[in-house]
Structure 1
Amino acid sequence: MMTKTSTVEMSHVEWLEDRRKGIGGSDVGTILGLNKWKSPYQLWLEKTGQIELDESNSEPAYWGNVLEEVVAREFMERTGKKVRRRNQVFEHPLHPFLRANIDRDVVGENAILECKTANSFLAKEWDGDEIPMSYLCQIQHYMNVLNRECAYIAVLIGGQRFVWKKIERDQVLIDMITKRLVEFWEINVMGDIEPPIDGSDATADFLKNHYSEEGKEEVTLPSNYDDLVESKRQLKKTEKEIKDQIQKIDNQIKSELGKRDAVIGITPKFIISWKSQERVSLDRKKLEVKYPEVAKDSSIYKTSSFKKLAEKEIN
């Protein structure tokens, strides 16, 4: 039997803490590696209480919440369907740690509505029958938790284009998603086993921000880190070889365009351009000559610091 918890009386802090109790819809894309803003490693730290939960207080998240009601009302206007809020967290009957906090129920149907907003630069992700994979997996997860037959997704794109689509239940996809979510919760969270560190920008940014302070200790690392360093060196060597091959191809194309005094070359499949571009930058030497007092003012210079990872072989 599916259980549910009301969120009406929850404070924001209580709501955040409640998220630690299981895997919600917004976690699905992260665990599946579909979220470029957060990695499974960071999510694991959150769920195990090692770091504070991400409050998602960014501008897009804020306006997504503000415009949710607008999107829901427009969906009703365009489809003639009725929807209602469900201020509850639902739990899967077999795996109570699989949870869902849906935007709306569709009245008279065994269906839900998910409301979204999207940047205009992402409009192509919604062309035709397209739906971003992270949202598709999130909604299939909701249908699994609530045992729904179908779902609708409505999105306001760039504040001026409205799209809605129907999503049928895909049991094969649901089974694949559920298997991965159960593994993450039971092995990584409950078993307290750290997920593999991946090479995503999300993980790199998190580590840079989380460990921004300079370390104080000198430690001995196990021998497998020798293997990692050797692998890195081999990859960098391969990277250089690949870059050389890319530059060789670029040079061949530039040579042919140059011989023909061409700015554009057209092949059966591509349009290739080789055009001049300008970039404006400050000439510090000229500034020091022409405006020496301004050049001495340290407040006009921006200083940034970062921690550089480097290695050298022990002789």
Structure 2
Amino acid sequence: MPAAGYDDGGAAVTIKIIRPADRAAWLAARSKDVTASVAAALLSIHPYVTPYGLFMEKTGRLSPDEEETEAMERGNLMEPVVVAMIRKRFPEWTVIYENDRAYYRDPERRIGATPDAFIVRADRAGTGNCQVKSASEEAFKQYWLDPDTGEVVPPMWIAVQAITEARLTGCAWACVALVVITWRGTFQLHIIDIPIHFRLWNRLVAKVGEFWAMVESGEEPDPDWQRDGEVVMDVYRSSTPERRDLTGDIVLDDLVHEYRLARAIEADQKARADAMRAQLIRALGNAEIGETINWEISARTSSYRNGSQSRVLRVKPRRDLNGSF
């Protein structure tokens, strides 16, 4: 395992290693930092987290969300499988895998990471950080595979995660071990080297510093209205019995008008869609699947615990049927 610390332009940075007793302790430890898995949000390149959402999380204004998602569960379950695959495919490598949620943090900069594994290879100097990922075949083709060259290129936010982990753990190099779960149920292993770009790291460190300064001052980043809607609704989930005078905000007044129009259009479109749904169901009758010239229509019956039933309508471009229902 590499040393807990790294050289930062001539100044040694000491890293604290926390070995939490359980998931709750791990969550508590990482709550104090910008962690590697979300750090790319501060560079505006994270697909799921925004600066506004991260700000609200770290200031305690978001509802606690400590439940393990299905994606997290899959990742945790796949992690030892991926490690076993690496050891099998590359027996000459030394893979260090403790599966103990060891948490590395820079207490001064408040950056943290939970590395997955470390690798020692004869063809690489020093120890490498190995970030383990899994993806469906569809997600692999959409997010990892370069359509022009056919090369496997990790999404930038994952590269940032790997670089952050490498820096905090004192690793000389970094890689991502990706296992693709194919539609046949087989596994494909890809080892992708991640260059440690010090300019990117320095930029991230600066962004993290700016972020914590904003948290300290209470100055909120602007929401990304295309992405932060659910976060805003969660932050302002509780109301108080007061009336606010907003008459001085002309832009807001126009926004209210646009909102009313959008809701009216939405209601009209929903009414039209509901009417069309009934027509399609009637055309199917009691059949589960039907075909038009261009489309395949399915409406299977779903039963609920209270004894009620409904038919779930799905439409997709027509394809050759295999006779399976």
Q: TM-score range by the shorter chain?
A: 0.5 to 0.7
Give the residue type in structure 2 aligned to 1:114. Answer: Q
C-alpha contact (below 8 Å) 1:152/1:167 kept by paired residues: yes
The aligned length equals: 246
**Structure 1 runs, 4 residues or longer, greater than 6 Å off:** 231-234, 299-302
Residue among 41, 47, 57 paired with 1:46:
57
2:215 alignment partner in structure 1: 189
Q: CA deviation at 1:92?
A: 3.2
C-alpha contact (below 8 Å) 2:38/2:49 kept by paired residues: no
Residue among 33, 52, 63 paired with 2:74:
63
Counterpart CA distance in 2 for 1:280 and 1:208 is: 35
Counterpart CA distance in 2 for 1:222 and 1:28 is: 39
Structure with the bigger percentage of strand:
2
Residues 132-178 of structure 1 deviation map (CA, whole Å, 9 limit, x = unaligned):
11101111222232343211111111252221111121112212222
Identity %: 22
Counterpart CA distance in 1 for 2:127 and 2:114 is: 16
Correspondence 1:173 to 2:200: yes
Counterpart CA distance in 1 for 2:170 and 2:48 is: 29
C-alpha contact (below 8 Å) 1:118/1:157 kept by paired residues: yes
Give the residue type in structure 1 aligned to 2:199. Answer: V
Q: 1:213 to 1:192 in 2, by over 3 A?
A: closer
C-alpha contact (below 8 Å) 1:91/1:98 kept by paired residues: yes
Correspondence 1:97 to 2:110: yes
Give the residue type in structure 1 aligned to 2:106. Answer: H
Correspondence 1:158 to 2:158: no
Counterpart CA distance in 2 for 1:228 and 1:140 is: 42
2:135 alignment partner in structure 1: 118
Counterpart CA distance in 2 for 1:55 and 1:206 is: 16
Of residues 21-30 and 82-91 in structure 1, the stretch that sits farther from structure 2 once superposed is 82-91
Residue among 193, 202, 205 paired with 2:230:
205
Please, which runs of 5 or more residues in structure 2 have no aligned partner? 1-12, 146-150, 262-292, 300-307, 312-325
Structure with the bigger percentage of helix:
1
Counterpart CA distance in 1 for 2:167 and 2:247 is: 43
Correspondence 1:84 to 2:89: no
1:221 alignment partner in structure 2: 246
Q: CA deviation at 1:213?
A: 6.6
- The TM-score with structure 2 as length reference comes to 0.64
C-alpha contact (below 8 Å) 2:14/2:106 kept by paired residues: yes
Correspondence 1:107 to 2:116: no
Counterpart CA distance in 1 for 2:131 and 2:96 is: 12
C-alpha contact (below 8 Å) 1:114/1:153 kept by paired residues: yes
Q: CA RMSD in A?
A: 3.5
C-alpha contact (below 8 Å) 1:40/1:195 kept by paired residues: yes
C-alpha contact (below 8 Å) 1:149/1:168 kept by paired residues: no
Q: 1:205 to 1:8 in 2, by over 3 A?
A: closer
Q: 1:220 to 1:174 in 2, by over 3 A?
A: same
C-alpha contact (below 8 Å) 1:83/1:107 kept by paired residues: yes
